[in-house]
Structure formats: C-alpha cells, structure tokens
Amino acid sequence: MQVDYISDLHLDFYIRMNSNEKKYREQTRNFCESLLPNEKGKVLVIAGDISHYNRQSKYALEFFSEQYDKVLFTLGNHDYYLISSEQEKRYNHNSMNREMELVAETSFLHNVVFLRNFEVLEYEGVRFAGATNWYPLEDVHEKSFFYNMSNDSRLIKDLDIAQLSSMTTYKYEQMEEVDVLVTHVPTIQIQSHVKYNSYYCYLNRLIPKAKHNIFGHCHEQSEYNKADYKFYINALGYPEEYLRHINPLKYAKAEREEFRKQWMKIKSFEV
C-alpha cells in the first residue's frame, strides 16, 4: 500500500482568513490541490498543524477526503492555539473545545479519521495508530523554555500538557505493534534538534513499535533509518521556510525553483 504523508501545513500562512466563505474555501482547496503528488496513494496521513482556524482545517480535510480512500490525521500544538480574543471567547478559553469542534464538524466525512490516544485502526490489512505525542515537560530546562520562550504556554489554554503527555505515553505503552505510527511531536532525535542545539518541547522519545513512523513539528523533510525502523518527516512549514534548507550561493535559480516545487508536495512510501 502506498501511504502519502505531510505535516505542518500551517494553511492560514498561505491562505489568509477571508470573510467571504466561498472564496476562502475555494482558495484553501486550490492550495491543497497544489500539494498533491503526481501519483496518489490510497491513504493520506496528516501529522498535525493544519491551521489556526477550524473552518480552514475542515475545508482541507473535506478536499483531501475527495482525493483519497482514507485520510488519517492527528493534531499538532498549533491546532490547539487560541490566537485571538475572539477565539478565546468562542472556545470559552479552553483549547480542547477547538479539538471537539473540529471533530464534530468533520464527522460527516466518513473516510476521515482522527488519530488519538494511540488507538489502533486497521485499513486493508495495515495497522495505523497515532496521537499528538505531547512533550513531557519533566526537565527544568524544558519547563523554562516552555514558560519563557514557547508560544504554546501562551496560546494553548487550559490544557495540562505534562498530564496529557503522561496519559498518552501510558496509552502507547499498552499499544501493540502497528505498521504505521503517526505523531506530531517527533519520537526520535532528528537533524533539527542538532541544528538548533535543542529538543525542548520538540521531542518525546518512544520505543519504536512500528516499522513506519511519521511525525512533524520540526520543519524539515527527511527520512531516517534506525535498525529495522523507518521515520518520515515532511513538514511544509511556513512560506519561504524551504530557503533555510538550500544554499542560494551553491545552487542556480532553476535548481532552487525545482527544490521549492519538490518541497511543496505530499510525499509517500510503501508499506
């Protein structure tokens, strides 16, 4: 089975909120269409950070549900952000209400599944499971980073992230092995951690229980092999962020443009 995957779409940085719902929906759908690979698989996995606005996340999930037999998604930290006073009022100062609203408003999409608490879903003989995989906030330095530098502490409302991390890690420990594991927060150390010399709030290590592991959160696009396990990250990130990953002095304009086109695409692997 071909599994397509992407994370960290951050759609509202590409398509701004628009009071004209028809135009807003059309622009979001058109952007999502531009991300499609030339040859689509049966399953699309979205590993979190879809949009700061549930309405836009719904448009995206609706579009992808028309393109794939099955769409599996988990939520990222940004999917819990309340970025304005209007959102705080709408969701009663509780980020979990954003999750509940998105799940309710996409319930009519019968081929779209929200992966949470590492509950196992089997589709055509392939076993999937997933969760946000919140970082543990156990280390004093990580707590300092969270409260003093991370937007999560300011924009995620009324969620005990340390408690959620403990609960979902317990669920993971109870989970049997699967074929594909989906998380937002990485489960292994990757190049981004080395590059920025930090893993605080960007890592929750898990003992591998899946041959194929998809995550996001860190904005890079890589594949990692550790023993018999494969790890995939295909984070779209913010506009022009791809430029951090290519040296403009080393590559010609045409090569940089080709790199951009490849960056702005859903990737795939075979199970």
Query: How confident is the model at residue 198, as a pLDDT?
Result: 86
pLDDT score recorded for residue 90: 98
Helix %, strand %, coil % of the chain (to 5): 35, 20, 40
Query: Would you write out the chain's pLDDT as a tens digit for each of its 271 residues?
Result: 999 999 999 999 999 998 899 999 999 999 999 999 999 999 999 999 999 999 999 999 999 999 999 999 999 999 999 999 999 999 999 999 999 999 999 999 999 999 999 999 999 999 999 999 999 999 999 999 999 999 999 999 999 999 999 999 999 999 999 999 999 999 999 999 998 888 999 999 999 999 999 999 999 999 999 999 999 999 999 999 999 999 888 889 999 999 999 999 999 999 9
- Predicted TM-score (pTM) of the model is 0.97
User: Strand, helix or coil at 123?
Assistant: strand
Beta strands in the chain (DSSP E): 2-6, 43-47, 70-74, 112-114, 120-123, 126-131, 178-183, 210-215, 221-226, 229-234, 267-270
Backbone angles phi, psi at 58, to 5 degrees: -65, -45
Predicted local distance difference test score (pLDDT) of residue 228: 93
CA dist., res. 103 & res. 106, Å (int)? 5
